[in-house]
Copies of this chain bind each other. A is one copy, B any other.
């Protein structure tokens, strides 16, 4: 199950991150962590929009992003549903994708002139990792 009520408190219109991105991010994680299972219906575009007091089109944008990424499927006239994810292929690519992101992090830090140590300390703060 998924606690839709809790989501209401989490989505913040004043945040710098777009509403649609906040919604998509939350649901993406919900799918990844099996809070939402394949075949589960997402709330209708209008339902969620009404609950969040935002525009339906914004919810559509969130759902469309999830569909593009393969997390959900929008069926006209029926609704939007959680999709079965090809977990085999995804898990095989995880390490590779993670390394790519970390390399980008290092590149960005380099552009800004941040030292490796600056990064490691930030990682420790944000990810709670003990670094040596």
Q: Chain A interface (Cβ within 8 Å of chain B)?
A: 10, 25-26, 28-33, 35, 69, 85, 90, 94-95, 97-99, 101-116, 118-123, 125-127, 129-132
Contact = CB atoms under 8 A, between A and B. Distances in A.
A115 B26 contact: no
B112 A97 contact: yes
Query: Most chain-B Cβ atoms within 10 A of its Cβ — which of A97, A118, A120, A130?
Result: A118
Contacts of A31: 113
Nearest to A3: B113
B127 A25 contact: no
Contacts of A98: 109, 114, 118-119, 121-122
Given A99-B126, A129-B131, 11 more contacts: A10-B111, A28-B110, A29-B113, A33-B114, A33-B115, A94-B114, A94-B118, A101-B109, A104-B108, A119-B127, A129-B132
A94 B113 CA distance: 9
Contacts of A121: 95, 98
A120 B123 CA distance: 9
A111 to B, nearest CB: 5
Contacts of A116: 127
Contacts of A99: 122, 125-126
